[in-house]
Chain A
Amino acid sequence: MEARRLLLVTRYSLPAFLRNGSGISYVVLTFTLGLLLAELPLSIVESGLADLEELLEQIRVMVAMMLAVVSLEQTFSQLGTLSSAPTPEQAPFLEWAQYLLNERPALLSAVLAIELIAVPLFIATGTFNQLSGDLQHGAIRYQLLRTSRAELYFGRFIGMALFTWVLIVALLLAILIYVGVRLDLYPWADIIAWGGRALIGFGVLSLPYVAACCAISANVASPFASLVLCSLAVGGVPVLAIGGMQAWEPLGNLIYLMPWGYTHHLFHPEASHGVLAGLGCLLHGALYLAAGYLLFRRKDL
């Protein structure tokens, strides 16, 4: 693999992606839905409909419930009991939620908790066409005698990962600025510190999902089929795991087919959890990329 050709593939993949439908829809979807979701907790405070303390308590329970669910410690059927009398198993999640809401800007944490679930879904619906369109129309054949399959595959992945990072940074910056300027509830130092960690966390979090979509896209010569498969892979895994767990508990481990089962640890009070979660994301991403490349390398194009 030659760095010069890799960078050329990366560089030229971005304008082509931006000008096609999936690129534009990725930007629009991420921004509109991302900001709409962020608006949910913010609007309650803005409208003055709720007492802030009461609202924070509600958010604390909501965040704790989300943490419990994504950790597969609680299922939806058990959630009703969480707010009334926490069990010893539930206690750590309430403490975790306490950290997110008391020691960190609470509204920002609530927004991040929501985006933690939404961003992978945005990625699945935005990055499904890294190679599949070119495979379908044969455009890739014009490049194949000038660059290697490895350079094409990894070059496109790097381009899409960078594009996704820029998009996430823009989305988070919009939220941070809005919370800081408009609501004026937290000191800027707290917002910047927590926002910085969120930027790193979401940057790492995006990698395995972009990698999974790259692997699918490189081996499915139809953008529509790629979109369906990417959506099923990213969105279907937690549904399958949580649903399957109800029938037979070990099926809950299916959640680890994707990083869903541990990415919330990126925002754990203990830094070591965050580092391990980040490493997990990198490992997952590397596995998807390698598996996708092994298939792509031998694929008929």
Chain B
Amino acid sequence: MSSDAAERGGGEPGGIPDGLPALRLDGVTRSYGSRKALDGVSFTVPRLSVFGLVGPNGAGKTTLFSTIAAFLRPDSGTIRILGDHSPGDPALLGRVSILPQDALFDRNLMIIDQLILYRRLQGATAAQATVEVREALVRVGLGEYLDRSVTVLSHGMTKRLGIAQAFLGSPELIFLDEPTAGLDPRNAGRIRRVIRELSEHSTVVVSSHNLAELEDLCDQVAILDRGVIKATGTVAELMERQGRRTLELELPAPPSEELRRQLAAHPGVRSLAGTEGRLAVMLDATGPEPVAAVLRTLLDAGLVPRSFHDGGSLEEVFLSLTDESPE
């Protein structure tokens, strides 16, 4: 943890007046010409949570991040950050950071020099900044590129560099715009671990197309489509609100047609899907009874599930709310 964070109580919520969320948006609207990129966006991000922002391409996620970060000005609405601060408030300098989606680093400065500048702008001394920058780069697997230019980095490495700069100085609120896009599975996993660690001391807002990732990482999500927030809440709340409950099973062999008919006939079972050994049973009913009935039928037929997951996927909710059909 950096000394700045220590001074603030390690990014503790003590930096924010009691009872106030890390971020609150109310009716935020932003247009590009006649096209509304954000249309009355309202939601709240609790302190020390990981909040996911989901939406298809062009939904307005990057515009929303840019508006909160004061890169863009909203046409109307209010944004309150870390208490009662508006975007661009000098009191927020160094307390909020962002991984912008399309920003490039300066090609004319060495990587370490750029990050040292960023950290020093947050108040660190040169020596302190150097130590922290080295640690940050090692943490994202770029320790050997300290004295190089960004021109030698691949797309994935540049993304990791962007993430390293975002958590310099342990900011209280961090925005990550598609942090794992373009990363290989190993590095995506590394970044997810970093995000989990960050969330112990900071509030993290993540946008992503990787819905499984958000489902795994986030305490709460908001679904944004064509500039409008379609739903917010925990993944479980969204499932319940949408009446979507799915029992996902991995079977040693594909169920026969007869077995499928028996399963579909159970009360509370809406439909079946899946191929080969994977079976998804869509349920209408709540409670353990329909799950027990399905499992009993499978066991009676000699199919012992290798694994099962009772719930549903964020993807289903996302697709249903954004007018797309699951494939």
CB of A16 within 8 Å of the partner chain: yes
**Docked-complex contact B120 and A145, CB < 8 angstroms:** no
| Residues of chain A contacted by B120 (CB below 8 angstroms) | 8
For the residues of A in contact with B, the DSSP-based class is helix
**Docked-complex contact A141 and B71, CB < 8 angstroms:** yes
**Docked-complex contact A16 and B73, CB < 8 angstroms:** no
Using A139-B103, A139-B105, A141-B71 as known contacts, list a sample of 16 further A-B pairs with CB atoms less than 8 Å apart, ordered by residue number in A: A8-B121, A12-B117, A15-B108, A17-B108, A134-B106, A137-B104, A138-B102, A138-B104, A142-B105, A142-B114, A143-B118, A145-B97, A146-B93, A146-B94, A147-B121, A148-B90
Mark out the residues of chain B between 56 and 83 whose CB falls within 8 Å of any chain A CB in the assembled complex.
69-73
**Docked-complex contact A146 and B121, CB < 8 angstroms:** yes
What is the distance, in angstroms, from A190's C-beta to the closest C-beta of chain B? 43
Range for the number of chain A residues in contact with chain B: 20 to 34
| Residues of chain A contacted by B122 (CB below 8 angstroms) | 146
**Docked-complex contact B105 and A147, CB < 8 angstroms:** no
Range for the number of chain B residues in contact with chain A: 20 to 34
A-side residues, CB < 8 A to B, are 5, 8-9, 12, 15-17, 19-20, 134, 137-149, 298, 300-301
Q: Which of B73, B96, B106, B107 contacts A145 (CB 8 A)?
A: B96
Interface centre among B88, B92, B103 (most CB of A within 10 A): B103
| Residues of chain A contacted by B117 (CB below 8 angstroms) | 8, 12, 143
Q: Which of A5, A15, A140, A300 contacts B73 (CB 8 A)?
A: A300
| Residues of chain A contacted by B69 (CB below 8 angstroms) | 141, 144-145
Q: What 4 pairs between A and B have smallest CB-CB spacing?
A: A138-B103, A19-B108, A146-B121, A137-B104
CB of B100 within 8 Å of the partner chain: yes
| Residues of chain B contacted by A141 (CB below 8 angstroms) | 69, 71, 98, 100, 103
**Docked-complex contact B108 and A20, CB < 8 angstroms:** yes
CA of A139 to CA of B100, assembled, Å: 9
Closest to A134 in B: B106
Interface centre among A17, A20, A138 (most CB of B within 10 A): A138
Q: Which of B88, B104, B113, B118 contacts A146 (CB 8 A)?
A: B118
CB of B208 within 8 Å of the partner chain: no
| Residues of chain B contacted by A149 (CB below 8 angstroms) | 88
| Residues of chain A contacted by B121 (CB below 8 angstroms) | 5, 8-9, 143, 146-147
